[in-house]
Amino acid sequence: MSKSHRRKRVLLLGGTREALSIARQLTSLDIYSLAGLGKVPDDLTCTVRVGGFGGAVGLAEFIRAGNIELLLDATHPYAAQISANAADAAQQTQTPYWALRRADWQPQADDDWRDVENWSEIIAALADFKRPFFTLGREPLTHLDEIPPTQHWTIRCLDAEPGNARATVIGARGPFTLDGERDLFATNNFDILISKNSGSVATEPKLQIARARQLPVLILKRPALPLATREFNSSDELIAALHEDSR
């Protein structure tokens, strides 16, 4: 991004692949913020900060203290708390709030997708299955003691934690390939997939394999997110708008 034009000082809230691609367009004026769960890049021109702000009030203070003029939200669609805080802090400080809102995945004609709203609905929907594959993050790890004797769970999340006699935990970070997912499903003989509707290309191959194997998929409903001043479906659109804004 050209440094020769006056443009707004940006605070970018990240935690996604797209956020990193936006962060690569920022300059030393700007700040890229991460919660601290994943990798922290060390090759960016902008400042990188890590850790929570202390709710909407803390974020508003950070915006004021740092003379932030544009708040960008490129967090994950299921990270509802930080997005709610961002909208609130933007309102408190009268800062424009732009958000990347990924389109969600849509089922195809023969897909057997079943919407679930919460953990108890997931457990009820799994009653007749034996080898579920969880790709929801950490939540299933907190229920390892509740696995019915008829089931063996496979849980894929960022942390490689020990499972138990009825659960295998795979610590892995996307992107995942079609070939890799095909092998994983075949080896483990999963009979149902449990997924968020993240809309990410990096994690979509599991849905293609579930489709090919005619497996049902439990889809955890997306949380409601606040309205932003401007919303974008892709990081490219958002980056183009940033360039436009700096003309």
Region of 78-86, 111-119, 138-146, 224-232 interacting with ligand NAP (CB under 6 A): 78-86
Backbone φ, ψ for residue 221 (5° rounding): -60, 145
Tokens of 181: 């997912």
Kindly state whether residue 137 participates in binding ligand NAP, applying the rule CB under 6 A. Answer: yes
Kindly state whether residue 223 participates in binding ligand NAP, applying the rule CB under 6 A. Answer: no
Kindly state whether residue 13 participates in binding ligand NAP, applying the rule CB under 6 A. Answer: yes
Between 54 and 148, whose beta carbon lies closer to ligand NAP?
54
- Listed in sequence order, the residues at least 6 apart from 150 whose beta carbon sits closer than 8 Å to its beta carbon are 130
Between 12 and 242, whose beta carbon lies closer to ligand NAP?
12
Kindly state whether residue 235 participates in binding ligand NAP, applying the rule CB under 6 A. Answer: no
- Out of 11, 71, 85, 238, which residue is the one contacting ligand NAP (CB under 6 A)? 85
- Out of 29, 35, 44, 116, which residue is the one contacting ligand NAP (CB under 6 A)? 35
Q: Taking the complex as a whole, how short is the minimal distance between the CB of residue 2 and ligand NAP, in angstroms?
A: 26
Q: Which residues pair with 167 in a beta bridge?
A: 153, 164
Q: State how far the alpha carbon of 144 is from the alpha carbons of 75, 148, 153, 164, 218, in Å.
A: 28, 10, 9, 7, 19
Give the x-and-dash track for 184-213 against ligand NAP (CB under 6 A): ------------x-----------------
Closest CA to 30 of 14, 10, 13: 10
- Out of 41, 55, 107, 199, which residue is the one contacting ligand NAP (CB under 6 A)? 55
Kindly state whether residue 240 participates in binding ligand NAP, applying the rule CB under 6 A. Answer: no
Closest CA to 63 of 89, 37, 87: 89
DSSP 3-state of 93: helix
The angle formed by the CA atoms of residues 34, 93 and 11, to the nearest 5 degrees, is 25
- Produce one character per residue of 172-200: b if its CB has 16 or more CB atoms within 10 Å, e if not: eebebeeeebbebbeeeebbbbbbbbbbb
Region of 11-19, 109-117, 123-131, 165-173 interacting with ligand NAP (CB under 6 A): 11-19
Distance CA 38, CA 135 (A): 16
Between 46 and 152, whose beta carbon lies closer to ligand NAP?
46
Q: Taking the complex as a whole, how short is the minimal distance between the CB of residue 33 and ligand NAP, in angstroms?
A: 4
Distance CA 94, CA 154 (A): 46
- Out of 18, 26, 53, 101, which residue is the one contacting ligand NAP (CB under 6 A)? 53
Kindly state whether residue 81 participates in binding ligand NAP, applying the rule CB under 6 A. Answer: yes
Residues near ligand NAP (CB under 6 A): 13-16, 33-35, 37, 52-55, 58-59, 75-76, 78-82, 85, 137, 196
